[in-house]
Amino acid sequence: MTFTPHGDHLIAGKRVPAEATFSSAPAHGSAFAFSAGSPELVAQACAAAQTAFAGFAASSREERAVLLDTIADEIDARGDQITEIGTSETGLPEARLQGERGRTTGQLRLFATHIREAAYLDRRHDIALPDRQPMPRPDLRMMQRPIGPVAVFGASNFPLAFSTAGGDTAAALAAGCPVVVKGHGAHPGTGEIVGEAIVAALDKLGLDGGIFSLVQGGSRAVGEALVTDPRIKAVGFTGSLGGGRALFDLCAKRPEPIPFFGELGSVNPMFVLPEAAAARGSDIGAGWAGSLTMGVGQFCTNPGIAIVVDGPGADAFVSSACEGLRAVAPQTMLTDGMAEAYRSGARRVSEGAGVTSLLSNTCDGRSAAPYLFDVSAEDWMADEALSEEVFGPLGLVIRVADTEQMQTVAARFKGQLTATLQMDDGDIDLARALLPVLEQMAGRVLANGFPTGVEVADTMVHGGPYPASTNFGATSVGTLSIRRFLRPVCYQNLPEALLPADLRTG
């Protein structure tokens, strides 16, 4: 059954139209009109979220787990329609959308299991010691509690897994926090149908509609109104460094500053150590080419920079990577703006001092083809612009003179989501020397793999020091991400009847 968007906002369980509209810009298929967001609609959604908060925060873990499972079921029930509108809006292939839908419903169900197990509450109890000298100790109990309504910004590059019902929304709902989503203008129809699934789940379970609202895209004022609304207590964001930093600054300047959990991108450096380069440089180069071009390079974990010691191993690595990239045909990017930014980034890299173009292409309209460049370590370290992310299938090889210079280059990188070691047994001493630098640099350190593809699991860390993210102690993927929307509360000498159910001893 073909899905035709109604184009309205979803606020507290109801469709809300607006006079101002915008048109979608699909990669193929029909465009549709959507109501544009406004500060007034944001205020309405935030008010509903605040009204719903007390009841939702007091709900049981099982009630919230059932909600998460039901949302997943409602999304799956709309699977074919989501794929249809999602492929039209984004240009992503059907298999990618179907896989991303599975990841989205999988993380909803993972959080349902996680909160049922209750370990995330971190419950602690220091019993009263009335006879302790020189002073008695009161009865002290502590557990994690939800912080309040959460704002979530839909991401451009993941229309499902990092958008309306993505990881931020799943974690916030699991914690007991109502959510107000600002939909991304690149895929409003996809956002709408997923939002309808959440509304249907709330309605089926008889829960307060204010637990979830979706305000569709609008001007920058809409996002600013959302992060500055005094009822919002935290923000989840995946997007550009410039946009994220502007919102982060607004959160910090509020009369009541709030945490802004922004995932802002990364070049994800890959260090090809000498023994690995000599033994299998060609294989590593081919694998790198595949990782660079996965999803048209539109993953925040795309390994855009490779560092290798100059010599025969480096030559084999580069030759193989170039061959693999040359075989990749132009592909459609998610938006016209992304395609233009990619072309601009490629020009910036190509104009860098000492940069050699190994593979160049002509990219028109919304399509993108791979680029490959190399540069010496000295020239790279002299030009800070060469360490900036280019969002797309572009690779830059940094040739270092020796392993000592490789360590010098490693220390020059800013915060990253990931850092990768391609290594063999003979590289262990160098890897040991690099590891402390990589640990300080990145949220995830890999050996002999590629960072594209982020496992949704208890152990995953998708975050890192700034500018990879705005909070180095948090992750936006995996069950640990629920901690972003909780805070510890200590209860001193409270009667059992007043304690949260999860803290009572009975």
DSSP structure class, residue 482 = G
DSSP structure class, residue 160 = T
Angle between helices 79-90 and 94-117 (to 10 degrees): 120
Q: From CA 303, how far away is CA 334, in angstroms rounded?
A: 19
Decide if 121 contacts 22 (C-beta within 8 A).
Answer: no
Catalytic residue among 74, 84, 263, 275: 263
Answer yes or no: 263 catalytic. yes
Classify 496 as helix, strand or coil. helix
First-to-last alpha carbon distance for the chain, in angstroms, is 51
Closest by CA position to 426, among listed 311, 304, 277, 290: 277
Q: From CA 61, how far away is CA 176, in angstroms rounded?
A: 9
Tokens 């540069």 locate to: 375
Closest by CA position to 172, among listed 70, 56, 76: 56
* Token pair in block for residue 24: 């979608």
- By DSSP bridging, strand 356-359 and strand 367-368 are unpaired
Catalytic residue among 300, 322, 363, 389: 300
Classify 234 as helix, strand or coil. strand
Tokens 């059992």 locate to: 496
Residues identified as active-site = 263, 300
